[in-house]
Structure 1
């Protein structure tokens, strides 16, 4: 075992704040080969297989006692390469998967610099869950700002809601935790599992989620907002010829979730609200409407 007892304990107890430093593929300290590690509770055996070059080595990872941590070394290659893991369960079932700990951070140093300045004006594109293709691999990047957390994991139906499976890395002093998880798809439910300073583990919805379960459930849902097709080209064209500085302005500020409801507990959809809202605004003489935040939120009556 190349890990120190302290490093092993930090993985097994899921309290390492940058598990990518220990898990995944890394050059050996003397550059004589490569080491691959993974934390796979409940798995019987793990094999590393190269993806793009058949001349690169295939090798087995050995379990470290009964910890769920596997480690393997090869001296047949010195440069990190793309690989997949072939995992075998106790019942003999096997599956192939890319290693979530083999990918570089999805946020750049510039992203973190602008975030720290308060000048990252598209932070909703960086934090939350976003479907991406990285190095030809489809999956989802997850990011959350939790500066006081001791550990953050992504849990969901793709990992049996097990916080040991996808612990995130803390990106420097930014307070942002991040991970790319291969094979996560649109519609998958997830939450963040957070170890707080008191030692308690709590589950939290994603504050930057694009989609959430309806109350009383509160899981966040991976969703692809890029597929929405805008149909407002004619209106945008007319707006170019409109001088807003010489036109009257009367703004109606409103909260969609409570403006009008079907019942005390059931809200209208956006499309159901559109016509009665426009009729009301025209009847009252308003020229503009300002919506209080329409970001997805697990508690629809919330005004904040």
Structure 2
């Protein structure tokens, strides 16, 4: 009995056509009698070898490669080496040799609409699994037929890294070893009508500078805060009876640099703090600095709620802005826009080919004056978002 007989032709076809909702049924490591079967799908590969020098056999003329043998000769997890069609060599730990990573408890709270920090398990979160560093990608898209992580690390090819769906939760996940901080990525979604959608991560914590729209992987922040005195003062402050005076501004138009460009967060902090202190204000209120595609919206049409806009710098640059204000006794308030979101193709609109974050009925789901969509807060998962 050869290795391919462990799988049905229907399962194999779904992998080859990038339609499988659970690629782990085929890809990765499987038991076959006393042997192990390893299945790898590697587009544009000329040759694939398993750790230990085990050559994998191509299935017919496809990009599916198989090996059958004594699993004790392979470590857990194992590494794959391949030569692409241009002769370049590549090596990675097989992402399909890892088990599910998301906890049932997190998914339960999310479905219940009571998860208070869903961004910590959805989105792209650096993680170490079985001693291997990588990134855990996860998203909610219950009506998708297939979702893949695409990015610079796989030439934006949706066939390379399809995700697994977690039962009836509508949540998809994939742990990708070796993906580094700063890499750009999106989610390629095949809907129930076989249409493909290329979406930014709803839980992305950094994005490309517009007009580009990819999400960007960020590691846990290493920023060193210096506002301990401010935090201690806030704990002791009788805020109900303390004076409050707020200076509101749009960071993109308050001042510009000598060339007419935007000030970055750090420069803005240094110019702004002295000004508002001189005028006697206690707080700064920023118009929305969440990521948004259109300058003219002043941030009120958000596509990235978990990321400070890259127009003015990095997430750590924004942390510096807040820190600098606190060190000089100035509080920071931020506008936040949960009322509506834009229809941009890379955003939340019909995220999985259906009205997911918005109402299906346009009388409820569309803001006619702004040409934007309205959140469907009747869905628990939208509440958790």
TM > 0.5 between the two? Answer: yes
Structure 1 residue ranges without an equivalent (≥5): 51-57
Match of 1:107 in 2: 102
How many residue pairs were aligned? 295
* Distance 1:172-1:260 versus aligned 2 partners, 3 A rule: farther
* Distance 1:208-1:255 versus aligned 2 partners, 3 A rule: farther
Distance apart, 1:237 and its partner CA = 2.1
* Distance 1:283-1:92 versus aligned 2 partners, 3 A rule: closer
Say which SS state the counterpart of residue 266 (structure 2) adopts. helix
Q: Deviations over 1:270-295 (max 9, x none)?
A: 22332454456557765444545544
Structure 1 residues 88-97 or 139-148, which shifts more? 88-97
* Distance 1:76-1:211 versus aligned 2 partners, 3 A rule: closer
Distance apart, 1:72 and its partner CA = 1.9
Say which SS state the counterpart of residue 124 (structure 2) adopts. strand
CA contact (8 A) 2:289 2:299 kept: no
CA contact (8 A) 1:34 1:78 kept: no
Say which SS state the counterpart of residue 173 (structure 1) adopts. helix
Say which SS state the counterpart of residue 111 (structure 1) adopts. helix
Distance apart, 1:155 and its partner CA = 0.9
Structure 1 residues 292-301 or 189-198, which shifts more? 292-301
* Distance 1:182-1:18 versus aligned 2 partners, 3 A rule: same
Q: Deviations over 1:164-222 (max 9, x none)?
A: 11111111222221111111111211111111233221211112222211111111111
Q: RMSD of the TM alignment (CA)?
A: 2.9
Q: Deviations over 1:29-70 (max 9, x none)?
A: xx42211111112212323226xxxxxxx6432211112111
CA contact (8 A) 1:47 1:60 kept: yes
Match of 2:35 in 1: 33
Distance apart, 1:260 and its partner CA = 5.5
TM-score normalised by L of structure 1: 0.84
CA contact (8 A) 1:210 1:223 kept: yes
Q: Deviations over 1:109-132 (max 9, x none)?
A: 111111111222111111222222
Q: How does 1:1-304 map to 2 (within 5 A)?
A: 1-2=4-5, 3-28=7-32, 31-49=33-51, 59-75=54-70, 77=72, 81-90=76-85, 93-249=88-244, 256-257=251-252, 266-278=261-273, 281-282=276-277, 287-291=282-286, 294-297=289-292, 299=294, 301-303=298-300, 304=302
* Distance 1:86-1:79 versus aligned 2 partners, 3 A rule: closer
CA contact (8 A) 1:210 1:225 kept: no
Structure 1 residues 283-292 or 230-239, which shifts more? 283-292
